[in-house]
Amino acid sequence: MTGLPRLFGADYSVYVRIARLCLIEKGIEYQLVPLDIFADGGPPTDYLAKHPFGRIPAFEHQEFSLYETSAITRYIDEAFEGPQLQPLDPVHRARCNQLISIADNYAYPHLVWGVYVERISKPGRGVSTDEDKLVAALPKARNCLAAMSQLMRDGPWFIGEQLTLADLYAAPMFDYFLMTFEGAELIRQHGNLQEWWARMASRPSMAVTKPS
């Protein structure tokens, strides 16, 4: 066992990718321990000691174990040297936290599960799209993009000049969503999100963490 921080998960996972983006953007060497949460028969039973809710990622740093991506990424940002990924002033930090909450509660279920999984992931596995679910997700996805576009400050990133956790949360969700025809159509209505996505997608951290 190395002394490197360890992240348990799989590269297809949005949340594992968020944590990896955070580690990479901070410049931290880490070990990705493969854990397929959707494996036949479920994850190894001893994984539940690391994450009692059976999700990925889980994280270990020396003797410290942690699960829930919001706690993991904030810990990484605060415990390690490297570029600050959270604004210091209360207003911008609150906006960053608000965008993370939007990503968790609206973008992940609607953009990823409602649109991407139904349109691309399920047919790719030979499972039929639930058209009702997809149709129901689209106005919610539209609303989500409109809210995120409205909250985006002038500047290259969501919070302006500083790349923050808000960008790292949104990016893996947008990456899946924009693979769909509907996602590509919807983002066209928001020039600032389109420009943000072009910038975000060209970061080396995004290339390194691209799902295989």
Q: Using CB under 6 A as the criterion, which residues of the chain lie in contact with ligand GSH when the complex forms?
A: 13-15, 37, 54-56, 68-70
Q: Give how far Cα 149 sits from Cα of 60, 89, 159, 169, 180, Å.
A: 35, 21, 11, 15, 19
- For 155-193, letters b (16+ CB in 10 Å) and e give eebbbeebbbbbbbbbbbbbbbbbebebbeebbeebeeb
Shortest distance (Å) from residue 195 CB to ligand GSH: 26
Name which of 116 and 197 has its Cβ closer to ligand GSH: 116
CB nearer to ligand GSH: give 117 or 159: 117
Backbone angles phi, psi at 185, to 5 degrees: -70, -45
Nearer to ligand GSH, 191 or 208 (CB): 208
CB of 54 to ligand GSH, least distance (A): 6
Compute the least distance from the CB of residue 203 to ligand GSH, in Å. 20
Measured from the CB atom, is 68 or 130 closer to ligand GSH? 68
What token pair was written down for 122? 């399920």
Least Å distance between CB 115 and ligand GSH?
Answer: 15
